Structure 1
Amino acid sequence: MADPFYLTTAIHYPNGKPHIGHAYETIAADVLARFHRMQGRDVRFQTGTDEHGLKMAQKARDLGITPRALADEMSAHFRELFDKLDISYDRFIRTTQAEHHTSSQALWRAMEANGDLYLDRYEGWYSVRDEAYYDASELVDGEAGEKLSPQGTPVEWTVEESWFFRLSAYQEPLLALYRNNPDFLQPESRRNEVVKFVEGGLRDLSVSRTSFDWGVKVPGAENHVMYVWVDALTNYITGLGYPDMDGDMAKFWPADLHLIGKDIVRFHAVYWPAFLMSAKLDVPKKVFGHGFLLNRGQKESKSLGNVTDPAELADRFGVDNLRYFLLRDFTFGQDGSYSPEAIVNRSNSELANSFGNLAQRTLSQVFKNCDGNLPGITGHTPEDEALFAHVDRVVRSEMPAAYADLAFAQALEAWMGAVFACNAYIDAQAPWALRKTDEQRMCTVLGTLYICIAQLAVAVQPVMPGSMAKLLDAMGIAPELRNPDAIGSHWYSPLIESGFGLAKPEGLFPRLELAEGEGAPA
């Protein structure tokens, strides 16, 4: 039986259309899902939209529509974007779905049964934009002297009857979780922040509201709706059928990874495990808080006029070019910066000029010099063996280890190193010259490159699934060979014997151009 792997993104707040940060996180999760499927694991990958809360209610009111109409419209934009970006999710969840209300209420009852919920009066600072409560000690002064949240968002003093969760009772259990499972929260900088926060003491958490009704009803207190984060976090078990503890819950829970932005680490690494402990459920195995994606070094905002539509980037530069750039250009977990020039430079230098050109040169020579028949290999020189060893090490060892550690840039650095090695090999061996002097050696060189290109295409499939599928199809590589362990070299002779014929190759990555006045690629 295949080893299960359950991976989630944060569910995205649809009070506006999706931005580049939503694309970045979901692409990264998709790469992981595809990698683990390629390793033979039984993967369940969930994403979706978080549709309740005061922010949604206020946005809908401003637009003169119902919150449900706003949720339906905006959730569709997220699904359309993810389909465009080739996201292979298994479940797109919406918190407005009836089963999610059932699941959230079941979790509430479990926490209540454990004695962790009580009714009281809430007075404190609340940020509508963050959907978060803040202690006065956490607030910062704005330019006009107004109080702001640590994220720089406006806060308002709120007074209302509320149900509270006994978060204070979970300070020591949470610290024990971090201490005994150092990999629970990554990267280490996020872990250190959360440990410091919890060590500073935890106050009980207000977990219901009465000032609006757009949310999941509190069982037995219909005038209350759940605090949006109780409802939102529950999505991870709703998607597995909770409160039914059989089936997918038994198979996939606890989650192997919650992949989230660094701004919501507290909710996932403090509140969520506390809720789960209260409900007598296992906590997730790992939470990873990635960095922000900046536009030319600046955080995107409507006021700066620098908000980018990721769908337009995909249409303009290509889905796989965009996916490659976002995971290649900066270390995952840290903040990164992008620009059209950076996307064009990276795509042209590495995808068009390096790998694309390698594949085009090799396959074109097979098509032209061998009439499309795969060339036979007759013995190997030390140079051939060295190239095979380099590519094999990258494909079967270095890249899988880096993918598993969410070190995407490191995986692609290793991949590009193997591509450079192949280009150095073809330049040194010069099969176009060998055609006139040693046709048998030319065939061996082209056959060696054919095998290496197939291996490299398989290894980078999680990042660029569309273009690599196109290349592997053209090369006659059977689906069962498209994983690092299967794509050795044993398939090459049987493919020759099958009579496979290579069609005239098409360019894989056309060179990209910038718009006039946008800056010139280096």
Structure 2
Amino acid sequence: MADPFYITTAISYPNGRPHIGHAYEAIATDVIARFQRQMGRDVFFLTGTDEHGLKMAQTARDRGVTPHELATEMSSLFKAMDDRLEISYDRFIRTTEAEHHAASQEIWRRMEANGDIYLDRYEGWYSVRDEAYYDEKELTVAETGEKLSPQGTPVEWTVEESWFFRLSKYQEPLLAYYAANPDFIRPEARRNEVVRFVEGGLSDLSISRTSFDWGVKVPGSDNHVMYVWVDALTNYLTGAGFPDDTARYERFWPADVHIIGKDIIRFHAVYWPAFLMSAKLPLPKQVFGHGFLLHRGEKMSKSLGNVVDPLDLADTFGVDPLRYFLLREVTFGQDGSYSAEAIVNRVNADLANSFGNLAQRTLSFIAKNCEGVVPTGGKGDAADDALLAQVSEAAAEMRAAFNDLGLSQGIEAWLKAVFACNQYIDAQAPWTLRKTDPDRMIAVLGTLYVAIRDLAIIIAPVIPGSAAKLLDQMGIPAGERTHDVIGDRSGVESLAISGFRLSAPTPIFPRLELPAEADA
């Protein structure tokens, strides 16, 4: 049986429409999931929406609808974004599902049974926007005198009865766990940030509210609803079948990696492992906090008027070009920037001019000069083997990089092989060989056919629709699109034997034009 691989995004808070940051996280996670499927893993990819909490209740009240009506409407927008961007999730979870409420109440009971939950009175600073509590020492003061959270959001003094979690009890166990598992939090900057925070001391955490009722009911205390982060984080367990589907749970938990934004690293790398330790459940293997996506170097905000709808970008530039740009341009784990000009320039240079042109001129030449018969045999030489070796080496580099979540580095390795193929076709000049040495031409074209197939296969997780169209045109069977075939000529040779004929190819990567509005 294939090895399991469980990967998640953070679930999105749907009190507003999805933005490019949501799209970036979904695309990056999808690429990792698709790559692991190519590697033969039994992948389970979870994403969804986090629908409880005070923000949702307030937004619904302001709009004159129920919180559930708002959640259903907005969740559908996030699901539509995922579907439009070819996100290959296995489950889109909603925290309003009965199954999730049951999982959240079960982890609560286990933490309570461990003596880690007690009733007290909460007095302190709370940010509605962050759904987070903050110590006085963490706050800053605006020029207006208003107190702000570390994220720059307003805080308000809150007083109410609350259930508390003994987070302070887990300070040393967490630090010991980080030390014993240095790859638990990545990249290193996130790990260092979390370790410093925990070393600074942990206070017990208020984990219920009585001032509103939109959330998961606390077991045995129905006038309390769970603090949204207890409920939200538990979605990862719900997706794995906890607590009732034991076969599924034993197969997929612990998760291999949570892909999240760096602004919620504390919840995932401090609170979440502490909850799991308390409930005596295994911790996820890794939490990876990616950076922010900036628009022309600026953080997006409604006040600046630079919030971009990811579906508008997909409509303007195409889904695969957008996916490619975000993962090629931004070093995964660091902040990155995008603009219309940057997308057009990168996609035209890498996909249209380099890979697209390589495929189009090679396949067109075969369709026209070989009557569409896939070229095999011919007069080979060392240059042919050297090229396929370079492509195989690039595939190996890409596998290593993607396994380590080095997405842009993996794409760079692929691009080096694309450049090598373009240098090879220019040096071999099959259009000249057609007259001077037809046998040599056949060997060159056959080598290029194998190389283009291999390049399409290894970039497929990034640009799945485009790669599939190219491989379809080339007659490559669906079952022969894994890394196992890289460098192997036999599959291409069997195409020729089967009588497959290559039709005049359709360009896969047309050149992009800059929209009339430069910031479209």
Shorter-normalised TM-score: what interval?
over 0.9
Cα distance between partner residues in 2 of 1:466 and 1:515: 23
| Cα contact 2:110–2:279 (8 A) shared by 1 | yes
State whether residues 379 and 442 of structure 2, in contact with CA within 8 Å, keep that contact through their aligned partners in structure 1.
Answer: no
**Match of 1:518, as an amino acid?**
A
Q: Read off the aligned partner of 1:446 and give its amino acid letter.
A: L
TM-superposition CA deviations, 1:144-172 (whole Å, max 9, x none)? 12110000000000000000000000011
Check conservation: 1:10, 1:260, Cα contact below 8 A: yes
Q: Identify if the C-alpha distance between structure 1 residues 278 and 519 changes in structure 2 by more than 3 Å, giving closer, same or farther.
A: closer
**Contact map agreement 1:379 1:444 (CA 8 A) in 2:** yes
Structure 1 gaps, min length 5: none
Q: Deviations over 1:324-379 (max 9, x none)?
A: 00000021000000001111001111100100000000000000000111112224
1:516 CA displacement: 2.6
CA distance in 2, matches of 1:180, 1:479: 42
* Corresponding letter in the other structure for 2:18: P
Specify the alignment match of 2:52 in structure 1.
52
1:517 is displaced (CA, Å) by: 5.1
State the shift of 1:259 in Å: 0.5
Separation (CA, whole Å) in 1 of partners of 2:162 and 2:258: 29
Residue 399 of structure 2 corresponds to residue 400 of structure 1: yes
Instruction: Decide whether aligned partners of structure 1 residues 517 and 13 sit closer, same or farther in structure 2, where only a CA change above 3 A counts.
Output: closer
Query: Deviations 1:38-60 (Å, cap 9, x if unpaired)?
Result: 00010000000000000001111
Residue 443 of structure 1: how far off its partner (Å): 1.1
Paired position in structure 2 for 1:221: 221
Alignment of 1:65-464 (within 5 A): 65-244=65-244, 246-395=246-395, 397-464=396-463
Residue 212 (structure 1) shift: 0.5
Q: SS state of the match for residue 420, structure 1? A: helix
Amino acid paired to 2:54? L
- Structure 2: which 5+ residue stretches go unaligned? none
Cα separation, 2, equivalents of 1:28 and 1:276: 26
AA aligned to 1:492 is V
2:419 counterpart letter in structure 1: F
For the residues of structure 1 that align with 2:424 and 2:504, how far apart are their CA atoms?
A: 23
Distance 1:97 1:379 in 2: 64
Letter in 2 for 1:142: A
Question: Which string of whole-angstrom CA distances, capped at 9 and with x for unpartnered residues, describes residues 286-330 of structure 1?
Answer: 000000000111111111110100011111101000000000002
Query: Shift of residue 242 of structure 1?
Result: 1.1
- What is the CA distance between 1:440 and its match in structure 2? 1.1
2:44 corresponds to 1:14: no
| CA–CA distance in structure 2, aligned partners of residues 83 and 175 of structure 1 | 40
**What SS is found at the alignment partner of 1:306?**
coil
How much has 1:25 moved relative to structure 2?
0.3
Secondary structure of 1:92's counterpart equals strand
Q: Please identify runs of 4+ aligned residues in structure 1 that moved more than 4 A.
A: none
In 1, the alpha carbon distance for the partners of 2:182 and 2:398 equals 24
Distance 1:446 1:160 in 2: 75
CA–CA distance in 2 between the matches of 1:70 and 1:316? Answer: 29
Q: CA deviation at 1:495?
A: 1.3
Q: Secondary structure at the match of 1:122?
A: strand
**SS class of match (2:281):** coil
One-letter amino acid matched to 2:321: N
Residues 377 and 448 in structure 1, CA contact (< 8 A), matched pair in contact too: no
1:143/1:267 Cα in 2 relative to 1: closer, same or farther (>3 Å)?
Answer: same
- Partner Cα distance (1:375, 1:91) in 2: 43
Q: Is the 8 A contact 1:141 1:147 kept in 2?
A: yes
Q: What secondary structure is seen at the aligned counterpart in 2 of 1:344?
A: helix
Could you say what secondary structure the match of 2:269 adopts? helix
Partner of 2:494: 494
The one-letter code sitting in structure 1 at the alignment partner of 2:107 is L
- Cα deviation, 1:219-249, whole Å, max 9, x if unaligned, reads 1110000000000000000112211261111
User: What secondary structure does 2:280 align onto?
Assistant: coil
- Take 1:457 and 1:372, find their aligned partners in 2: how far apart are those partners? 19
> Equivalent residues in 2 for 1:18-29 (5 A)?
18-29=18-29
CA distance in 2 between counterparts of 1:193 and 1:517 reads 40
The separation in 2 between residues aligned to 1:245 and 1:116, in whole angstroms, is: 26
1:468 aligned partner, one-letter code = A
1:466 aligns with 2:427: no
| AA matched with 1:464 | I
Deviations 1:125-150 (A, max 9, x none): 00000000000000011121211000
Alignment of 1:25-40 (within 5 A): 25-40=25-40
SS in 2 for 1:491: helix
Q: Distance in 1 between matches of 2:309 and 2:173?
A: 42
- Equivalents in 1 of 2:191, 2:460: separation in Å? 31
Q: Report the 3-state secondary structure (helix = DSSP H, G, I; strand = E; otherwise coil) of the residue aligned with 2:435.
A: helix
- Residue 43 (str. 1) matches residue 36 (str. 2): no
Superposition deviation, residue 519 in structure 1: 8.2
Matches of 2:59 and 2:307, distance apart in 1: 19
Q: Secondary structure at the match of 2:484?
A: coil
Q: Matches of 2:379 and 2:431 in 1, distance apart?
A: 19
CA RMSD in angstroms, aligned pairs only:
1.1
- Measured in 2, the distance between the counterparts of 1:278 and 1:245 equals 21
CA contact (8 A) 2:183 2:286 kept: yes
Rounded to whole Å, the distance in 1 between the matches of 2:380 and 2:444 is 9
TM-score of the superposition, structure 1-length normalised? Answer: 0.98
Distance 1:247 1:376 in 2: 49
- Once the two structures are TM-superposed, the CA of residue 481 in structure 1 deviates from its matched residue by 1.3
- Asked if structure 1 preserves the Cα contact closer than 8 Å seen for 2:456 and 2:467, the reply is yes
Q: In structure 1, what is the Cα distance between the partners aligned to 2:127 and 2:7? A: 29
State whether structure 2 residue 489 is matched by structure 1 residue 484: no
1:72 to partner: Cα distance: 0.4
Letter matched to residue 330 of structure 1: V
Q: Distance in 2 between matches of 1:15 and 1:354?
A: 42
State percent identity of aligned pairs.
70
Q: Distance in 1 between matches of 2:471 and 2:359?
A: 11
Secondary structure of 1:485's counterpart equals helix
